[in-house]
Structure 1
Amino acid sequence: MTVVASRFERRHRDLYETEKWATEALIRRFPVHGLTVWEPAAGNHMIADVLREAGATVRTSDIAVYDRQHDAIYDFLVDRPHSEPLVQAIITNPPYGKGNRDAVIFARNALERCDGLVALLLTAKFDFGKTRRFLFADNDRFWAKIALVDRIQWFPGDTSGTEDHAWYIWGPKGARYTKTMFWEGKK
């Protein structure tokens, strides 16, 4: 696959809705049945809906309301409210920001706020940065990467996605994990 530049003009707090198949690819490898999950960049609940269908209890939050209400409104990158949900997992497609800087902060915050499973949908090369070793190579919790062999279509229309993505998974605190690589697609 060749990565091509998108012609889509990005806007502040734009909504990137994750196609259902991408979340299904995650839960084929990491089932969520019976877990309480926090989706802190919930958008219109595309990920949350798939997690619920798979048997998870899901708490949602986001920086803004799009078409669906959340359990809470706040900025996961900055705010630390008194009533964060007690959860066993954080699963989300976070904002990336320029140079993936927001995604790095999001990953760090997720690992600090959740002692359980953390799964983030990010660009496929997110783990390549030497400044991110603390998240991967030097992190005992880093468990797996699921490379998505199909591209996500973020916006309606006939165009396909322009970038490759992967799920990055960190395991619960207190254990060491054998780092594993998987490949999943639409099926």
Structure 2
Amino acid sequence: MTRTTSPFRAPHDYYPTPPGGTRALLSVERFSGAIWEPACGEGAISKVLAAHGYQVVSTDLIDRGFGTGGVNFLAEQTSRARNIITNPPYGSGLADAFVRHALCLVQPTGGSVAMLLNLASLAHPMRHAQWVRRPPTSLYVLDELTCWPNGIERGFAAEHRYCWAVWRPDHVGRPSLWWLSTSVQM
């Protein structure tokens, strides 16, 4: 997958997730079975999941020295674990593609999907039909989370607000909405 990157975006949309973001999710959600983190980067989410007792399969398109590099999630035909949890790349519609593909991959496993998304993405008119057709089970709005590109502070990244969108198998109806603190210690 070759893409041109905006000068205002980190290469390959690499924005590591601070541990508090994943701990916040785990303060309210439990996952049965192994978890695949398909955009693992240097392991920010994977390490928190493993520290909480989950078996984690970590892959990424780019080899950053953690997990298995060179794996194009969007080209995978089967899920590598029952559940999928990630902070997907956002540029060029990739977050939408990750959500759709993850939901397809976990359908045979009966697993769940959790995606860290830009809160503004929930209100985008191009996504309306997708979200209404397949709404998440739960949306968790994070109080404060900044995913700095490669650890380098840039102003635009601080302007984003994030939420976890969680899809459970066989969910029907509207999602629940709740607020989470990223300062939770577990």
Question: TM-score by structure 2 length?
Answer: 0.81
Taking a change above 3 Å as real, the CA distance of residues 134 and 169 of structure 1, as seen in their structure-2 partners, is: farther
Instruction: Compute the displacement of 1:88 (Å).
Output: 2.2
Q: Distance in 2 between matches of 1:24 and 1:144?
A: 16
Amino acid at match of 1:111: L
Q: Are 1:95 and 2:89 an aligned pair? A: yes
AA matched with 2:49: L
1:9 shift after superposition: 3.9
TM-score, with length taken from structure 1: 0.81
Answering whether residue 167 of structure 2 is matched by residue 138 of structure 1, we say no
Deviation at 1:59, TM superposition (A): 0.5
Q: Which structure has more strand as a fraction of its residues?
A: 1
Q: Which has the larger share of helix?
A: 2
- Alignment-mate amino acid for residue 109 of structure 1: H
Q: Partners in 1 of 2:137 and 2:67 — Cα distance? A: 32
Mapped partners of 1:158, 1:39: distance in 2: 24
Structure 1 residue 133: deviation in Å? 3.0
Secondary structure of 1:125's partner? helix
Paired residue for 1:185, among 174, 181, 185? 181
Shift of 1:95: 0.3
Give the Å deviation of 1:163. 1.1
CA distance in 1, matches of 2:132, 2:138: 11
- 2:57 is aligned with 1:59: yes
Partners in 2 of 1:142 and 1:89 — Cα distance? Answer: 14
Q: What is the Cα deviation at residue 182 of structure 1?
A: 1.0
Question: Could you say if the C-alpha distance between residues 90 and 69 of structure 1 is closer, same or farther in structure 2, counting changes exceeding 3 Å?
Answer: closer
Distance 1:179 1:162 in 2: 25
Q: 1:129 aligns with which of 106, 111, 124?
A: 124
Tell whether 2:38 aligns with 1:46.
Answer: no
> What is the root-mean-square deviation in Å for CA atoms of aligned residues?
2.2
Quick one: percent identity of the two aligned structures? 26
Distance, in Å, in 2 between the alignment partners of 1:12 and 1:30 is: 31
Conserved in 2, the CA contact under 8 Å of 1:118 and 1:170? yes
> Which stretches in structure 2 are left out of the alignment for 5+ residues?
1-6
Kept after mapping to 2: 8 A contact 1:92/1:120:
yes
Counterparts of 1:159 and 1:46, CA distance in 2:
19
Is 1:163 the counterpart of 2:165 in the alignment? no
